[in-house]
Structure 1
Amino acid sequence: MRLILSIGGGVLALVILVLAFLAWTPAPPRVDEAAIRAAAAEYSARIIRDSLGVPHIYGERDADVAFGLAWAHAEDDWETIEPTLIAARGELARYDGQAAAPTDYIVQLLRIRETVAARYETELTAEARAIVEAYADGMNAWALENRGRVRSGVLPMTGQDVVAGFVLRTPFMYGLDADIGELFEDERQRTISIGETETAFHLIDGPNPELGSNAYAIAPSRSDDGATRLIVNSHQPFTGPVAWYEIGLHSAEGWNAGGATFPGAPLVLHGHNENLGWAHTVNAPDLADIYVLEINPDNENQYRLDGEWVDFETGTAALRVRLFGPFSWVFNRELLWSAHGPVIRQPHGTYAIRFSGHDEVRGVEQWYRMNRASSWEEWRAAMEMRAITSLNTVYADRDGNIAYLYNARMPVRAEGYDWREYLPGDRSDLIWTEYQPFDALPLLLNPASGFVTNANNTPFRATDPADDLRREDFSATFGIEHEMTNRGQRLLNLLINDPSISGAEALEYKFDLSYAPDSPVVRLVSQLLAMDLDEDRLLIEAQDVLRAWDFSTNIENRSAALGVLTAIKCIENRHDTRPFTCEPEEALRASAEDLMAHHGLLDPEWGEVNRHVRGEVDLPVDGGPDILRAIYCGCQELNEDGQFVGVAGDTYIMAVEWDANGHLESRSIHQFGSATLDETSPHYADQADDFVAMELRDFPWMQSEVLDGATRDYVVGRR
């Protein structure tokens, strides 16, 4: 018996050793440090950090500027840039474990790496490749000097990695992740998080933080002084891979741009140059289609198409998933593709997905051309590429032109189908292969009203009604949204009723704090006030609080806490006359109990509840959900401290102006500061006070302005 136990113990130990050997994560290839240093020696960039630590990059060539931008951004936000890079490679689960495996699977299912590799050399110009490769070289050079902050196996970063990051993130902006997610869950949709850094590109239950935005432009004819004005106000998560980072870029080759970018992006995504500017908001065109496939009962790897059984293209997703410590395991999962596109096989059916941009890698090039455009004609030519697959865009320039474009890479689809529903997968004539021309898109250029605006609302309400585009002029196959938002309605009300808009007024409207009279919030409160609540003392007192509400969200307001807390339980962000998502009476009761439990009263000042928190900074903040001064907490209940802490909404704000003589001035503010994750930096939260006070600072454009009060001035590269 003792011998048997001894042998059994030896076998068990051997099995454990074999499993440990198999599960040991293999070491990555050795980094060629000499090659990284040699590449860095080809560049020279001067980085001047202004009085708020914002980097302004100067170089002889555009490539030098891209190299310097990468270095500066890595200094401030490497811990966000790094997982963005890894996610685009489809390798995030190797580092972050099971929660990141769905993203790796999607990267392989959508063939992101293969698409980039096949099209990188042939579809991107040499100029665009030079920018993304310089950016990659800058990241590598910085990482080599800071190896302690870099995960094993990440280096070297390549230009294709940069492009793959664009290809992965862009479809998320129009909701492809939700389309894919609904196929995996019968009852509860799951999405890929692009919110907080710690959950970036991880599978999460429920929606991401709000991705909204406000943008508007005022023509000289509508200004009080003949100026052209542009308000840039994207609503994003406060941190993570789609959080804004402010930059200034200046090249002797003529690339001059200021504004904001995302981690992993080598240029300004929205902002301005000396001649023109633009702002994006998220739109919701129908750019993804789901087909229900009929499977051969005798061969599960065949589907019916045009009356014949056709073989799936098959593959295997090898997902290396970190277990603990140095141990990981490779899980193999089925990959299928049909003539339509990627295929997902589930117990309730087999589905194929076809989405706009599945064959597109030039998004970064289009933004680069927008950065460098010097006129409406050049900027429009960049937009005609349609390589950016979605996003509303508001435009203004020094010549007084303004425009609103409902930008989307629209498929050419057969009429007569509701393309937002599932489609029959057995007909090849429903597999679209072409895109609509640029001229087919909703575009409003220089309307007589003198202003254009969008706040994630329908494009058919973008200016004075007399100048608006008409819905009937555009195909129903575009799937253009019909809804308004409170922000959209308030902006229209304010701009329509002001025939002569000053710079101060343009900014004042951006910080408006009210819900519109025809908003769902007002409709909800009106319904609650009309209820007979059967002598329920708590609810009757709650009615009294709501009755006193003027529907503002200023920090002193004593009804906003109860009103907003009730409204976010019943109303989605995109709304018009949709039914409430829960019973109003139940929402009011839950909100009243929540306030009583944490504050002991139903009417605390809104500023006691609504907070802007950054490290040790904890400030009351005006605004709220779907307010032009947008603040989202990503929750429906108060936290343990009885607060809503903002996690998304108003982030980077920029006000751009060309006066009647064409002179440029711009002002900006960031919700925190340029040091995105470095809590020890003086720029970690140095803009928070002004952000809460709704005050913008002058954005330094000329080098002399940048040097005035500069906190640091240094050169990177060796050329």
Structure 2
Amino acid sequence: MMICPLLLNTALLRNASAMLLAAALPGCSGDSTSATSRLPLVAEITRTAYGIPHVKAVDEASLGYGVGFVQAQDGVCALAEQFVEVAGERARYFGEGVALPQTLGVPANLSSDIFFRLLNDEDSVVAAQSAQTPEVTALMQGWVAGYNRFVRDTAASSLPAACRNAEWVRPVTIRDLARLMRFYNAIGGMLDLQGVIAAAAPPSPAFTGASVGSRASSKASHGDVVTAHLSQAVARRPTASNALAIGKDLSANGRGILLGNPHLPWHGPLRMGMLHVTLENKLDTMGATLPGVPVVGIGFNDQFAWTHTTTTSRHGTFYRLQLDPGNATNYLVNGQSRPMRGRTVQVTVKERSGAVRIDRRTLYTSEFGWIVAWKEDGTAIAYKDALVDSHRLVEEWYGINRARSLDEIKTFIQRNVGNPWNNTIAADRLGATIFLAVTPVPKLSPERLQRCLITEPELQLVPGSFLLEAREDCHWEIDPDAPQAGIVAGKSMPALLRTDFVHNANDSAWIAQPAAPLTGYSPLVSEERQPLPARARFGLSQIAAVARRGGTLAPDDVQALVTGNRVYQADLWLDDLLLACAGVPELETGCSALRAWDRKANLDAGVGFGYFEAFVMAASTPDAWWRIPFDPADPVNTPAGLRVNDTEIQAAVRKRLASAVEAVDQSGLWSAGRRWGDIQRARLGGQLTGIHGGPDELGTYNAMASRVQSEASVREVEAGASYLQVVSFDNNGPRAKAILAYSQSSDPESPHALDQTLLFARKEWVTLPFTTREISADPSRRRLLIAE
């Protein structure tokens, strides 16, 4: 085992690996199940400015080894805590927690453990691990060895403050990593329903011992409570994104340009980190990835750049089960009673005294999915999720990392259908672009969906969800070309190749390109003829304006789409809002501030921005308020304006504005001439830093979510723009400008906990060093060889 600072070229890396292999062979055991116990692991790690890691290796296991090590260096506490969570052990280390509305009265850590014990039962984890290709298995085994190397070599007292001397920081196994991948797969599916699944219980008590059943509200089975929670759960989904691929028809130099702008939590397991991976003769890719994933998730190589956006496709369906009147854990299918399958999970709970107790909970499943609620009308609701049996995330990202063209990306993604909740958008060096909305989606023919769908408004669970009858003829259908039973084949899902542009900002696939609408798909795959979200309209309208005047776009123009911080809803409403409040004495303060505001969410934005935000966020906008209603033939430009010439609507608009002004003034956030940069701040690196950008609901492309937490005068950033990249190409290859808004390290004491955040606050970007020459030219580079 060694660790030393030196520079290795590929040949030396190969030689080092061979020497370690020769030394290891005499001690190899024939019955070993771990590839990393038989093969040497050698990785070269170079850190350039801002702590950006470049990992080079000659085989997959060694590449994973290097990535696991650097990810532990940058975020061991978040990773270790997430390994605790996905193993269903939060209550064991942190106690049962407090009951929250979203857990329906069950203490939060206990609710989490119940859910993850269900999601990550042993059989499911083994199946997920066994489904990996040999290359992906080697990457994952190597990652585990690299993470464990850091944990083993770092004294508990030297860990970051968040986990210093914590007993829950431990070596992990490949099954721990498989559990983490299943957590990523569950986002946008079962994870949204975590609280209701953990609290769901038939009318008779389901807990034993020191039961938490008595703590769960007796109303947990009531349809109204469950419906309200499901709606809130969907609204809390943690991911969003913007993506724009510019082709040769609109690019200033005739080559592709790619904007990647995922919106993710700034803390926790979805906190991406920058990464450059090089595997001899297979891949050389740079960008960013999720913790625990041993390859780049969003990035570029010398041929193309790609990114992802959160899809609107539905990955599961709800079913209404008619219960057997004689047994609440049986249900009727075509008049025949069938038993639900109970699964008892066991959770270890640390009590305040330090003593440990065991809680048990029996949860139920059916052929139509997991039971999420028993209702008072003699029915139960089940949820069937296509994502829980999709184990192809790492395989898909590894395939993209290895691809050499957009055609290869398309072919691989359509065959694999492995990205659980993301569209893929890419641009290449020749000026082609592609949009793919290919994720695991239930296959239901139009006839079957129409026959089985429950359409009564009072029975709907969540807007946009699909509630079906639990009948024999309502099961998902089998597509022989799909890699997984019950889902749509990738080649039957939306795909679009263009030389002008493609775009997505968490809208459906329908208007990825207004000139070529994608139509005719199942509503589970892509809705059409529905209003677009404001962010999507902003991006599309900006590109359309360039095209109309016969202009082109350079990388700086694409960067400005994000950091310009334009509030698109202000373009739609503010002129009419000013008309409505003009000359009304009691609205003069608000009206004056709105008039002075420049319609941007920059650091210097004044209280006019605060008033407008409160006005927009107060409630959804009734359709009757729009001056120009939505027109499916013009979804980019409609709806628009406020119908303030209508006296009734004018009165309602004035009333909402007056309430918004009052709420903002009473909050004290904007007192004494404070600006947006004084209010919206990020707590990183031991200090608070003002952050530009605004709420998604305002149509701010640079979307940021913040709220008041420990300090009443500050709204701390929780999520938003994370890894931003603008990648272009010239005769010398890719040219990438990027920024990791929350910086590379989550350790407040690291020199890389705040450095990129300060750049982001100043709207500065990092020029990424990609080639060997560029990396070697960085005066701050640090190189390390790790091996075992």
Same fold, TM-score > 0.5, yes or no:
yes
Shift of 1:593: 4.5
Contact 2:185–2:388 (CA under 8 A) maintained in structure 1: no
Verify: 1:127 aligned to 2:135, yes or no.
yes
Contact 1:366–1:388 (CA under 8 A) maintained in structure 2: yes
Verify: 1:475 aligned to 2:522, yes or no.
yes
**SS where residue 81 of structure 1 aligns?**
helix
Of residues 564, 568, 577, the one that matches 2:617 is 568
Verify: 1:412 aligned to 2:481, yes or no.
no
Task: Give, as a single letter, the amino acid of the residue that structure 1 aligns with 2:552.
Answer: S
Question: Counterparts of 1:279 and 1:692 in 2: how far apart (Å)?
Answer: 23
Question: Counterparts of 1:673 and 1:395 in 2: how far apart (Å)?
Answer: 25
Matches within 5 A, 1:528-677: 530=580, 537=586, 539-558=587-606, 559-571=608-620, 585=655, 588-595=658-665, 598=668, 604-626=674-696, 627-635=699-707, 640-659=711-730, 661=731, 663-676=733-746
Shift of 1:586: 5.1
Shift of 1:597: 5.6
Q: Which residue of 1 aligns with 2:461?
A: none
Shift of 1:70: 0.6
Distance 1:613 1:407, change over 3 A: same
Q: Which residue of 2 aligns with 1:292?
A: 320
Contact 1:40–1:717 (CA under 8 A) maintained in structure 2: no
Shift of 1:287: 1.7
Of residues 474, 491, 500, the one that matches 1:439 is 491
Shift of 1:239: 1.3
Question: Counterparts of 2:81 and 2:174 in 1: how far apart (Å)?
Answer: 16
Distance 1:427 1:543, change over 3 A: farther
Contact 2:65–2:143 (CA under 8 A) maintained in structure 1: yes
Question: Counterparts of 1:207 and 1:303 in 2: how far apart (Å)?
Answer: 31
Contact 2:349–2:358 (CA under 8 A) maintained in structure 1: yes
Q: Which runs of 5+ in 2 are unaligned?
A: 1-31, 97-107, 160-164, 200-219, 455-464, 479-485, 622-629, 631-637, 643-648
**SS where residue 356 of structure 2 aligns?**
strand
Question: Counterparts of 2:670 and 2:449 in 1: how far apart (Å)?
Answer: 58
Q: State the Cα deviation string for residues 180-218 of structure 1 (Å, max 9, x = none).
A: 5467554477889xxxxxxxxxxx999547522111111
Deviating more after overlay: 474-483 vs 325-334: 474-483
Q: Which residue of 2 aligns with 1:301?
A: 329
Distance 1:314 1:606, change over 3 A: closer
Q: State the Cα deviation string for residues 377-429 of structure 1 (Å, max 9, x = none).
A: 32123212102222121111223321111222121112315473422224343
Of residues 123, 136, 146, the one that matches 1:114 is 123
Contact 1:112–1:164 (CA under 8 A) maintained in structure 2: no
Distance 1:300 1:645, change over 3 A: closer
**SS where residue 673 of structure 1 aligns?**
coil
Matches within 5 A, 1:190-229: 208=236, 211-229=239-257
Distance 1:549 1:40, change over 3 A: farther
Shift of 1:118: 2.5
Contact 2:242–2:701 (CA under 8 A) maintained in structure 1: no
Verify: 1:422 aligned to 2:453, yes or no.
no
Contact 1:321–1:331 (CA under 8 A) maintained in structure 2: yes
Contact 1:189–1:205 (CA under 8 A) maintained in structure 2: no
Task: Give, as a single letter, the amino acid of the residue that structure 1 aligns with 2:543.
Answer: L
Of residues 540, 544, 554, the one that matches 1:502 is 554
Task: Give, as a single letter, the amino acid of the residue that structure 1 aligns with 2:496.
Answer: L
Q: Which residue of 1 aligns with 2:112?
A: 103
Question: Counterparts of 1:490 and 1:603 in 2: how far apart (Å)?
Answer: 30
Shift of 1:324: 3.1
Distance 1:342 1:509, change over 3 A: same
Question: Counterparts of 1:483 and 1:100 in 2: how far apart (Å)?
Answer: 39
Shift of 1:79: 0.5
Q: Which residue of 2 aligns with 1:346?
A: 374
Question: Counterparts of 1:205 and 1:234 in 2: how far apart (Å)?
Answer: 20
Matches within 5 A, 1:7-26: none
Q: Which residue of 1 aligns with 2:192?
A: 178
Deviating more after overlay: 304-313 vs 559-568: 559-568
The number of aligned residues is 657
Of residues 226, 234, 259, the one that matches 1:231 is 259
Question: Counterparts of 1:336 and 1:230 in 2: how far apart (Å)?
Answer: 46
Shift of 1:513: 1.9
Q: State the Cα deviation string for residues 543-575 of structure 1 (Å, max 9, x = none).
A: 332244442223333321222233233359xx9
**SS where residue 396 of structure 2 aligns?**
helix
Shift of 1:430: 3.3
Distance 1:132 1:325, change over 3 A: farther
Shift of 1:35: 11
Task: Give, as a single letter, the amino acid of the residue that structure 1 aligns with 2:521.
Answer: F
Distance 1:643 1:301, change over 3 A: closer
**SS where residue 564 of structure 2 aligns?**
coil
Distance 1:37 1:493, change over 3 A: closer
Shift of 1:491: 1.2
Distance 1:527 1:254, change over 3 A: same
Q: Which residue of 2 aligns with 1:62?
A: 60
Of residues 272, 277, 283, the one that matches 2:311 is 283
Shift of 1:357: 2.0
TM-score by length of 1: 0.83
TM-score by length of 2: 0.76
Q: Which residue of 1 aligns with 2:412?
A: 382
**SS where residue 42 of structure 1 aligns?**
coil
CA RMSD of the aligned region, Å?
3.3
Shift of 1:347: 5.1
Distance 1:50 1:354, change over 3 A: same
Of residues 352, 357, 364, the one that matches 2:394 is 364
Distance 1:211 1:458, change over 3 A: same
Question: Counterparts of 2:283 and 2:272 in 1: how far apart (Å)?
Answer: 20
Identity in percent: 23
Question: Counterparts of 1:593 and 1:545 in 2: how far apart (Å)?
Answer: 15
Q: Which runs of 5+ in 1 are unaligned?
A: 1-33, 193-203
Deviating more after overlay: 594-603 vs 217-226: 594-603
Task: Give, as a single letter, the amino acid of the residue that structure 2 aligns with 1:685.
Answer: L
Contact 2:510–2:527 (CA under 8 A) maintained in structure 1: no
Question: Counterparts of 1:112 and 1:619 in 2: how far apart (Å)?
Answer: 42
Task: Give, as a single letter, the amino acid of the residue that structure 2 aligns with 1:670.
Answer: L
Of residues 764, 767, 779, the one that matches 1:695 is 764
